[in-house]
Amino acid sequence: MDGILPLWKPKGWTSHDCVMKIRKLYKTKKVGHTGTLDPEVEGVLPICIGQATKIVQFLTETTKVYIAELTLGTATETEDAHGEVVEEVKVSKVPSKQEIENVLQSFKGEIVQIPPMYSAVKVAGKKLYEYARANQQVERPKRTVVIHDIVYLPTDKTSETINFKVVCSKGTYIRTLCVDIGKRFGYPAHMSHLIREETGAIHRDDTVDFDTIEEACNNGRGQELLLPITKGITHLDTFYVDDEALKQKILNGQKLLIPDQIIHTNPFKVMYGDELLAIYQIHPEKEHEIKPVRVFHE
C-alpha cells in the first residue's frame, strides 16, 4: 500500500505511538509521520505509508495551521498547561480586543524564537528536554520562523484567555509564541490548548480517526483511506513529461538536462500524466542539469 493516511491524532498519543499502531493495522514497517505533535495536542498528523515515506521530509517542511489558546498570568516550565507552574501574577488589566489584535499583528512575518527547554531540539547531541530533566542549563539556539498570518478569535471564555488562529512555517513553537505574546502584555503566559488544523494541503476535513482506520483495515479497505502521494507535495512545482523513453530514464534515476519549462520550486515533482515518477532538483554543481532526489517505482 502506498499513500498518505490523513490521521486526526487524538490527545494522549505521541506521534510515535500513532506510527506503531498504524504499522500493525496496515501490516507494514514502511510508515512515517510528518512532524511531531506533543502528546496533549490533537490534530492533523499525515502518516506516510509505503512509497509515500519518500516524501516525509517534503511534507514536514510545509506550512501548518493551528488554533491556539493562551492563558495570561501563569507561566509553566514546559510553556504549556502540563508543566509545573513557575510564576503567577494576577491579571489586573485585561487587554481590549483592539490591543490583542494589534499585538498579534506585530508577530506577522519573520520572528526569532528560542525553543523551550522541554523540546526535542538537539544541542551537542542531546535533546533539550534531556538537559531539562537533568536540571542542567544549556544555551538554546535561536531560530528564525515565519508567521504568515495570525488572527484573534473572540470567545466567551475567561478574560485571562486569548484564542487565535496562526498560519506558520515549519519549526514554529506555538508554546513559545504564546509566552512571547504574553510578554507584550506584561504578563507571564502559557499555551493552554492547541489543535493543528492543517498540514500543507491536508486539512481537518480530510482526516480520519483510529476507529475509522481500524474498521477499514479489518474489512480489507485500508487502502481506501489513503490520499495520493501527490497530495503531500502540492507545494512543489510540476514538470510534466509525455515521452515514454524519457519516463524510463527518470524511473532509472538518470540525470537530465534542465527542461525548457519554467519551474518555480527546487526541488520539483516529475509527472507522466497522473503518475508521479520522481522528485528532481537542479544539480548543485551543474546548473544545466537536474538530478533525482526521490524516484517512485510502479
Strand 238-240 to 268-272 pairing: parallel
Could you tell me which of 185, 180, 182 has the C-alpha nearest to residue 71?
182
CA distance 211 to 251: 37
- Residue 149 known to be catalytic: no
For residue 298, what pLDDT is reported?
Answer: 65
**What dihedral do alpha carbons 164, 170, 172, 174 form, nearest 10°?**
40
**Topology match between the domains 64-194 and 236-295:** no
Single-letter residue type at 67: I
Could you tell me which of 265, 255, 258 has the C-alpha nearest to residue 292?
255
For residue 269, what pLDDT is reported?
Answer: 96
Pick the CATH number of 3-62+201-232 from 1.10.230.10, 3.30.2350.10, 3.30.420.40, 3.40.1190.20: 3.30.2350.10
Quote the Cα angle for 272-274-279, to 5°: 60
CA distance 35 to 223: 22
Catalytic residue among 2, 17, 38, 180: 38
Single-letter residue type at 123: V
CA distance 282 to 75: 47
Q: Which CATH architecture best describes the domain 64-194? A: 2-Layer Sandwich (3.30)
pLDDT tens-digit map of 155-213? 887 789 999 999 999 999 999 999 999 999 999 999 999 999 999 999 999 999 999 99
Pick the CATH number of 236-295 from 1.10.10, 3.40.50, 2.30.130, 2.40.10: 2.30.130
Residues of the chain with pLDDT below 50 are none
Could you tell me which of 70, 84, 10, 65 has the C-alpha nearest to residue 40?
10
12: left (phi over 0), alpha (psi -120 to 50) or beta: left
Burial 207-242 (b: 16+ CB within 10 A, else e): beebeebeebbeeeebeebbbebbbbbeebebbebe
Q: Which residues have a Cβ under 8 Å from the Cβ of 73 and sit 6 or more positions away?
A: 88, 89, 90, 91, 160, 187, 188, 189
For residue 134, what pLDDT is reported?
Answer: 85
Backbone angles phi, psi at 35, to 5 degrees: 125, 115
For residue 225, what pLDDT is reported?
Answer: 98
CA distance 165 to 155: 12
Quote the Cα angle for 259-260-264, to 5°: 80
Domain ranges in the chain are: 3-62+201-232, 64-194, 236-295
Q: How remote is the C-alpha of 276 from its chain's centroid?
A: 23
The cell for 64 is: 501548518
Q: What is the pTM of this model?
A: 0.91
